[in-house]
Amino acid sequence: MSQLSSTDTPIAALPGDALRERAVDQLRAELGDALIDTLVKPGDDVWVRVRADAWHDAGIALRDVVGLDYFCFLSAIDWMPSPFGRGEDDPTQPQAERDMTIRQGYTGGETRFQLFARACSTTLHFGVTIKADIGDDMTMPTWIPCYTGANWHEREAHEMFGINFAGHPDLRNMYLPSGFEGHPMRKDFPLLARMVKPWPGIVDVEPLPGEPADDSDADGGES
| Binding residues for other proteins (CB under 8 A) | 4-7, 9, 11-12, 14-15, 43-45, 47, 69-73, 75, 77-78, 81-82, 86-88, 103, 105-106, 116, 118, 122, 125, 127, 129, 147-149, 151-153, 160, 173-176, 184-185, 191, 194, 199, 201, 205, 207, 213-215, 217-222
Q: How far is the CB of 186 from other proteins (least distance, A)?
A: 10
Give, rounded to a whole angstrom, the gap between the first and last alpha carbons of the chain.
Answer: 50
The answer to whether 74 and 117 are in contact (CB under 8 A) is yes
Nearer Cβ to other proteins (71/165): 71
Query: φ and ψ at 102, to 5 degrees?
Result: -85, 125
Nearer Cβ to other proteins (33/222): 222
Nearer Cβ to other proteins (166/176): 176
Q: How far is the CB of 3 from other proteins (least distance, A)?
A: 10
CA–CA separation, 131 and 116 (whole Å): 4
Q: Is 58 exposed, middle or buried (0-12, 13-18, 19+ CB in 10 A)?
A: buried
Nearer Cβ to other proteins (179/220): 220
The answer to whether 131 and 109 are in contact (CB under 8 A) is yes
* Residue 4 identity: L
